Structure 1
Amino acid sequence: MASKDQWGSQPPTGAYNPTYQPGPTPNYAPPNEPSYAADQKSPYEGDRFKPKTRINDPLFLIFFILHFAGFVVLSASAIHQWVKDGGLGGGIGGGDTGSSVTLNYHTVILLLLVAAAALVLSVSYLMLTRIFTRAIMHITLIMSIALNIGLCVYYWITKYWSGAIIFTVIALFSFLAYWGYRSRIPLASLLVQVTMDVAKHHKSVYVVAFLALLLQATLSVWFTFTAIATYAKWTPGNPSCNNGSSCSSGKVAGLIFYETFSYLWTSQVIGNVALATMAGGPFGSWYYFGPKEQGMMPRHPTLSAFGRASTLSLGSIAFGSLIVTILDLIRMILNAVRNSGSMDGTPVQAILVVCAECCIGCIEGLITWFNRYAYIEIALYGKPYFRAAKDTWRMLADRGIDTIVNDSLVSMTLTWGAYSVGMLCSLFAYIYLRSTHPSYNVDGQYTAPVILFAFIIGLQFSLTLSSAVEAGVSTIFVGLGEDPQCLAIRAPELFGLIASIYPRVVQGVPRV
């Protein structure tokens, strides 16, 4: 194992510098174990970077296109009527103007402010990750604990019982979990350092991340206008109901459910296409071909990866994204049930639903984590989703890398960061509603959906931007499972730390 200075203390330059020229192969294995110098495989092995020209999972591709077309038609109809009615009034600040029946322009302005705040917070978090790479794990986890405790206290004080109960549970869990994670932070920090350094040499990583963020922002604004217009057009008592349109609370609930489903699924697809583009482009090329300065990397790897992800593999990405979206919706339904139970004076029901939400959240997290590695297999080899998932499971289970992946804090840290951004956005929306007292929310009946919209917008913004780091870390894990010798050449410090903590990983890979 190398000295502590290699990954324990901050270098004078403040950046981690991986080896870009092949040097002597580090002998991390015991003397009786074979060297991996001869195990490095061809970058094109198994049709890697040269997938077959075929559309994978076409049924899910068609389903995705049809659902999005339906959202476009519904959005156009609702927004047209809403604009015709003048947006039902309302504006920034105090809300005694406008319709008191349902959401109006006041909510649009609020959620646009939330989108702007989410953009600023997400970019700021990525910049902090780049500047304070070694400390970002501690900073994020401690800030998350402080935020959870602060929200918990605030909700108890304001008597928002359902929020107070769930954030008490989350605050206790995050506080206890931090003490178990501290010893695992050095490896996760070094993984982030290597990933951020590769991104520094491949500006296309940030280009893809910010383009995806721009698309997410556009989609969020579009979704905001569509949801508000749907409330305005079909809520009983609105002016548009006198024009012959059938209005009912059930219809509004069904349409909002469909629009939320469409927003979440499309948002997932955008983020995962970006992930596949970065994994199959700059990060995958760096791992298997070496830095572009060596001249072995294919031309325009990012554009090639984006072409595959957005066409031939789009159906597979939509398939995997649909699974996570369904779990997201189940969690949102449980959230609505919890709020209803709290308002009806049945806190026991609210607590039981909180437990169910936690279980669904854990399952969703595991599937999201697993899907990320499946998307990398799709990006590198052009596999259909089921085959990619099967091969991913085999790699994680048979080659020993599951130990590292399960202990990695990178994804957890970025998720906590996105969660914090979402919570800050929802808190901003809650305080804004309480401060302005809009006419449609006199009894607080629209507090829950507005806070939920704000949280979703903030969460999706941050997750999309942080996908740049997750793509790099996950690609390193996949490459380590397939060809560990490459990592020994590209980043010997990282390989040495992995070998010293998890020797089974590098010793258990069968020779080819």
Structure 2
Amino acid sequence: RYHTGSLAFGSLVLAVVQVIRVTLEYLDHRLKAAENKFAKFLLSCLKCCFWCLEKFIKFLNRNAYIMIAIYGTNFCTSARNAFFLLMRNIIRVAVLDKVTDFLFFLGKLLIVGSVGILAFFFFTHRIKLVQDTAPSLNYYWVPILTVIVGSYLIAHGFFSVYGMCVDTLFLCFCEDLERNDGSPERPYYMSPELSEILLKGHLEPSKSADSQG
């Protein structure tokens, strides 16, 4: 019941911060000719603070929307629960963020590179199968660059969806880890493969304790 209003509220908060940032950029442009160093320093600090605030709100909105989809709670409750849940698993958050960013970067690089090479061979008539269909161009770098930019934008859109899926699975994993302990009375809901990967270090102490007992 909170989905539509919560989405609108999260977007409104982000839009307000972005409007303030645009206003600060406008003031900075108007005050470039001014010689008041204190005003320039204050404006630079405000721009930095609101840039950080915008990044934080985007991060918070992303995880709040996931909690809204899971529990159906309002935006503020979902944002608070998501934030504290991630803070209790901050090490896992940092590791997962770096690993996924690196893998997504490799994926985008592979896609853009492959499409760019294919476009180069296509527009330079080096693919025999499509030599007759390829247009004759004097400056083939322009369409090649266009294809590369387009492939990057498409790849970025697809990987953004995968990124949301990764964040959703991670929040579900953290929630499962806090609500259950893996015992027969409170078993984990995660798959055995996921628990084997993410709970390897967490399960070893419990196994050793059970063997000692």
Give me the TM-score of the superposition, normalised by structure 2.
Answer: 0.54
Q: Shift of the alpha carbon at 1:393? A: 3.6
User: What's the CA shift string for 1:103-143, capped at 9, x where partnerless?
Assistant: xxxxxxxxxxxxxxxxxxxxxxxxxxxxxxxxxxxxxxxxx
2:92 is the counterpart of 1:404: yes
Aligned residue type for 2:90? D
CA shift for structure 1 position 328: 1.0
Partners of 1:341 and 1:350 within 8 A in 2: yes
Do residues 331 (structure 1) and 21 (structure 2) align? Answer: yes
Query: Match of 1:339, as an amino acid?
Result: H
Gaps (5+ residues) in structure 1? 1-53, 57-312, 417-459, 508-512
**Distance in structure 2 (CA, Å) of the matches to 1:326 and 1:317:** 14
Note the alpha carbon deviations across 1:482-506, whole angstroms, 9 max, x for none: 224455624367415xx54xx59x9
Q: Select the structure with the greater relative contact order (CA < 8 A; seq sep ≥ 6).
A: 1
Change (3 A) 1:372 1:358: same
Counterparts of residues 355-366 of structure 1 (less than 5 Å): 355-366=45-56
2:194 corresponds to which letter in structure 1? A
Cα deviations across residues 355-395 of structure 1 (Å, max 9, x unaligned)? 32111111221222122111001112222212322332443
Equivalents in 2 of 1:351, 1:466: separation in Å? 38
User: Partner of 2:70 in structure 1?
Assistant: 380
Amino acid in the other structure paired with 1:477: F
Amino acid at match of 1:409: K
Q: Is the 8 A contact 1:401 1:481 kept in 2?
A: yes
Q: Map 1:47-58 onto structure 2 (within 5 A).
A: 54=1, 56=2
- SS of 1:383's equivalent in the other structure is coil
What's the secondary structure of 1:319's corresponding residue?
helix
Q: Cα deviation per residue 1:180-217 (whole Å; 9 max; x = unaligned)? A: xxxxxxxxxxxxxxxxxxxxxxxxxxxxxxxxxxxxxx
Is 1:472 the counterpart of 2:165 in the alignment? yes
Cα distance in 2 for partners of 1:411, 1:354 equals: 32
Match of 1:346 in 2: 35
- Give yes or no for contact 1:374–1:392 (8 Å, CA) kept in 2: yes
Percent same amino acid at aligned positions? 27
More helix by share: 2
In structure 2, what residue type is equivalent to 1:346? Answer: E
What's the C-alpha RMSD, in Å, of the aligned pairs? 3.7
- How many Å separate the matches in 2 of 1:411 and 1:334? 33
Structure 2 CA distance for aligned equivalents of residues 495 and 405 of structure 1:
12
Partner amino acid for 1:495? L
1:465 shift after superposition:
5.5
1:481 partnered with 2:174: yes
AA of the residue aligned to 1:481: C
> Is 1:316 the counterpart of 2:6 in the alignment?
yes
> Relative to 1, partners in 2 of residues 1:351 and 1:475: Cα closer, same or farther, differing over 3 Å?
same
Query: Aligned equivalents of 2:155 and 2:51: distance in 1?
Result: 18
Q: Contact 1:487–1:495 at 8 Å: present in 2 too? A: no
Structure 1 distance, partners of 2:102, 2:53, is: 18
The separation in 1 between residues aligned to 2:155 and 2:55, in whole angstroms, is 16
In 2, are the aligned partners of 1:373 and 1:474 still within 8 Å (CA)?
A: yes
Q: CA deviation at 1:402?
A: 3.0
- Is residue 491 of structure 1 aligned with residue 184 of structure 2? no
Deviations 1:292-320 (A, max 9, x none): xxxxxxxxxxxxxxxxxxxxx11111111
Counterparts of 1:314 and 1:463 in 2: how far apart (Å)?
26
1:334 maps to a residue whose letter is: L
Q: Residues of 2 paired with 1:461 and 1:351: CA distance? A: 40
For residue 286 of structure 1, what is the aligned residue in structure 2? none
| Superposed counterparts of 1:229-268, under 5 Å | none
Task: Please point out which of 379, 383, 391 is paired with 2:81.
Answer: 391
**Residue 466 to residue 352, structure 1, CA distance change in 2 (3 Å):** farther
| Residues in 2 aligned to 1:356 and 1:324: alpha-carbon distance in whole angstroms | 16
The separation in 1 between residues aligned to 2:23 and 2:78, in whole angstroms, is 30
Q: Measured at CA, do residues 412 and 362 of structure 1 come closer, stay the same or move farther in structure 2, by a change above 3 Å?
A: farther
Once residues 371 and 402 of structure 1 are traced to their aligned partners in structure 2, the CA distance between those partners, rounded to angstroms, is 17
Equivalences, count: 145
Compute the displacement of 1:334 (Å).
1.0
Shift of 1:413: 7.4
Partner of 1:263: none
> For residues 462 and 335 of structure 1, do their structure 2 counterparts lie closer, same or farther at Cα, with a shift above 3 Å needed?
farther
Alpha-carbon distance in 2 for matches of 1:463, 1:386:
29
